[in-house]
Structure 1
Amino acid sequence: MPAPQDGPLLDDAAGRLIRPYTVSNGRTRPTAELDLLSLMMATGIEPDVPLGPEHAVALGLCEGPTSVAEIAAHLRLPAAITKILLSDLADCGAVIAHAPAFHDMPTDRSLLEAVLDGLRRQL
């Protein structure tokens, strides 16, 4: 997966040239419920509203299933801002989100006991 190239928004020496919350127009909450492990996938539908360059890069990263955390790392943006960008794309139908599989049974006792046993063996 290609990383975004340095351009008018990024500079190797100076870093990000605009503040992260400028990218989200000052919004601090996404409209969709996204987890860091949610997998985002492009639908092939072009957004019908004008979006910023970060939206375009995020959409390009969603050609295959990609986690919110991985997209945030590629964009070099905080996860909170990335979730807002991705929820914008989801609102216009350009991407869909798949919740992590473990959300079906987040408190599976046998899994938690296996993790605890593994940790005890390591100590």
Structure 2
Amino acid sequence: MNYIENLSEEKEKAIGHQLAHLMDTHLTFTESKIWHAHPVWFINGNPIVGFSKQKSGIRFMFWSGADFDEPALNVRGEKFKDASIFFNSVSEIHPEEVKRWLKKAETIQWDYKNIVKRKGVLERLKIV
């Protein structure tokens, strides 16, 4: 993934590769693409998870993560339902924890795909 290769530090690249691997392994049915300049994984056009480089480290963000009831996802968005965690080394990434979060990302989703059409109002998607 070009985004990862363009990160400046080797530790950032390692984190990016690890996160991408975990998402590609556990979200095989999703579409991944660069969206708003960083990698994002989608289910039926709805963004569910992505990561980006920020001053505090690599931000691993779940669009609907505020409803996951996961204390480690402690960086909460103020306006929407997102939650994230920052990683500064691969050793901070716990694959079983990430796998659990990814499973929740499949089943707990707010409809970001249609947020513009709904004038900024989020609706919970019913996942069958």
* TM-score > 0.5, shorter chain as reference: no
**More strand as a share of residues:** 2
TM-score, normalising length from structure 1?
Answer: 0.29
- For the pair shown, which has the larger CA radius of gyration, 1 or 2? 1
**More helix as a share of residues:** 1
